């Protein structure tokens, strides 16, 4: 998918540490997306079907894919506001 910039060294392709860090800042896997959103994997799949989120790479985008990759900015956009879902330990004044 060419999401990582590589450098050629003979027949090998090398990814720099900086490029890898940038990739991790930009993208995340489904498990991490679910943890960030506080949802189950089946909910994330349903959101894909409903069009609420679209993976950059995944079975619905790339047939035969073995994992799903999401943009972190899409995950942040879907996070509920703190005021929408107050934490259970928050006490009313």
| pLDDT, tens digit, 9 for 90 and up, residues 42-76 | 999 999 999 999 999 887 777 777 788 999 999 99
pTM of the full structure:
0.72
Query: Is 72 part of any domain?
Result: yes
Amino acid 4: pLDDT: 76
Contact in structure between 70 and 33 (CB atoms under 8 Å): yes
Q: Rounded mean pLDDT of 16-24?
A: 91
**Cα–Cα nearest to 60, from 41, 45, 38:** 45
Q: Which domain holds residue 69?
A: 28-78
Amino acid 83: pLDDT: 44
Residue with the bigger pLDDT between 34 and 87: it is 34
Query: Is residue 85 pLDDT above 70, yes or no?
Result: no
User: Any idea what DSSP says for residue 12?
Assistant: E
Q: How many domains does the chain contain in total?
A: 1
Amino acid 24: pLDDT: 92
């Amino acid at each position: 998918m060419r999401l990582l910039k590589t450098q050629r060294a003979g027949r090998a392709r090398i990814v720099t540490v900086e490029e890898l860090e940038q990739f991790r800042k930009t993208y995340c896997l489904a498990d991490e997306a679910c943890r960030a959103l506080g949802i189950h994997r089946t909910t994330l799949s349903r959101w894909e079907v409903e069009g609420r989120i679209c993976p950059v790479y995944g079975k619905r985008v790339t047939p035969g894919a073995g994992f799903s990759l999401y943009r972190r900015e899409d995950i942040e956009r879907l996070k509920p506001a703190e005021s929408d879902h107050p934490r259970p330990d928050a006490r009313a004044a």
